[in-house]
Amino acid sequence: MEDGRAGSGELRCPVPHAENTPLPPGHPSVPNANPSTLQPPSGEHCIFLRQSDDAPTVPSADTSRPVVVPPPITSPEDAKYVLVLSSRKSELAVRQASLVQSLLEQQFGQAALASPAESEVRQFLQSFAPSSGIRPIDFPVRTMSTLGDLNLKAPLCVIGGEGRAIWTKELEVALMAGAVDAIVHSLKDVPTTMPEGTELAAILEREDPRDALVVKQGLPYKSLDEMPKGSVIGTSSVRRVALLRRSYPHLMFSDVRGNINTRLAKLDANDGPYTALVLAAAGLKRMELDHRITAYVAEPVLLHAVGQGSLAIEIRTPRDASAERDQRIRHMIRSISNWRASWRCAAERALMHRMEGGCSIPLGVATRFDDHSDIEGQLNERLETPQEMLHAGVSRPSIQVAATPPEEGCRLTMSAVIVSLDGSQQCQHTESLVCRSIQDAEQLGIQVAEDLEHKKNARVILAEVEHHRQLAAAADEKRRAATAAGNKPQASSQAAEMDRRGLPRDDGAPKAWEV
């Protein structure tokens, strides 16, 4: 909306604001508004507003620190009938693990044995220990904290270290040590190169991959188009900032971390600086918070992240034919995989792998089959918001989806865009391919990546991102030198100066990307 002017010529915002709502820097004056707690970016290369409390408040989050592996929870005999699932400790991660647990119990638990029609399942379970009869499989869940959970202050693109592995490393150490048997991941958090000895055995039916706008309670805005100049959008995603800046250069962006409930609490707080948040719709729906979705923000404005909305299950790769237990685990996990989601995500991850990207690359994607409007468009990716569906009395339809892909193949279309950090430059490409296997889907992703690289100038934009990193590293080194020159040497027992990751600045690790 356009800003209005009062009779005195003073710039005023014509949109009603909740009383005492903090206003961002540069926003027109509003009666009864609190001053913003945000600070303007510190330089032209910064992309986020700075929080006044963005200093680390957690112990050193060293990516090389040893991981304490929990002991196995089963005896060797019981291990035949137990598959230990693992996830992070957040409420969303636990809900996601519980979903996988439920699917596996339906296939191989007590419920499966209760049905005489499940002859294949009974034969499979009988093969575990032919002499001891048939027992259902148990699927306990064991949770762990990861580096990404420990450092909630630094933006994701600042933490550095092992990129997306900040969400997976500790879990994978436990997996390879045999303390757990399968890890439930949000696929967008999983690096495209898997650690040696592990594999993704299943990708479940995809939840809504789009991003969602959540407006602060009490504010009247229904879309980003209605946001006045200077409105602050909370997000920890460089992708979202860069892509949204193309269409909304008048908006401001501030990093926000924490689990979903924490972020919503920050949004709704009376002294909170945010006008709205942009979050993954899938997380809100799995947390039964979809009533907070004000609007979907999708293509062409905002393409989603690679793998967004998908759950993936990582297992140990069976070393050889003698690794019978790992073979059985692979069989059980693969049984709940969804080929439609797997093919779409395979194309997206192949693109990401070719672009050598991670959390810090402003890349957005969108994939769909030709029958998208009849399947995903009716199930998980409807155009209506949950509020609109509820108001209209619409519920999720019952649609029979083929369990296996058609022999003749199906056409998959992928769109991808890479945008500069300031939103001024972009390259994008859309391509389709008739796929008959997951390898064909991966080839589609590679083809799109090659087009972006060789015809659309993607490397120029990505070079700018890397240049931004180098500028930040140089500025960080300069500040360290000034601090060392101006202060007396500290005793060895005193703590060294810390960077925004919570790491000592003299630890030899790559310098933080201080956005």
| Active site residue ranges | 189
Token pair in block for residue 12: 């005023």
Token pair in block for residue 225: 């188009």
Sign, Cα dihedral of 279, 285, 290, 294: positive
What is the Cα–Cα distance from 25 to 250, expressed in whole angstroms?
12
What is the Cα–Cα distance from 282 to 87, expressed in whole angstroms?
17
What is the distance between the terminal CA atoms of the chain, rounded to a whole angstrom?
29
**Coil, helix or strand at residue 162:** coil
Would you say 216 and 18 are in contact if contact means Cβ atoms under 8 Å apart? Answer: yes
What is the Cα–Cα distance from 139 to 184, expressed in whole angstroms?
12
Phi, psi dihedrals of residue 232, rounded to the nearest 5°: -100, 125
The DSSP line for 15-46 is S---TTPPPPTTPPB-TTPPPP-EE--SSTT-
**Coil, helix or strand at residue 425:** coil
**Amino acid at the residue 6:** A
- Tokens 């390879």 -> residue: 176
What is the Cα–Cα distance from 100 to 107, expressed in whole angstroms?
11
**Coil, helix or strand at residue 419:** strand
**Coil, helix or strand at residue 155:** coil
What is the Cα–Cα distance from 275 to 253, expressed in whole angstroms?
10
Specify the DSSP class assigned to residue 394. Answer: -
What are the beta bridge partners of residue 184? 313
Spatial CB neighbours of 318, under 8 Å, sequence gap ≥ 6: 326, 327, 330
What is the Cα–Cα distance from 515 to 509, expressed in whole angstroms?
18
How crowded is residue 23: how many other Cβ atoms within 10 Å of its Cβ? 22
Specify the DSSP class assigned to residue 224. Answer: G
Token pair in block for residue 17: 């604001």
For 51-71, give one letter per residue: b (16+ CB within 10 A) or e. Answer: beebebeeebbbbeeeeebee
What is the Cα–Cα distance from 52 to 38, expressed in whole angstroms?
7
What are the beta bridge partners of residue 234? 254, 277
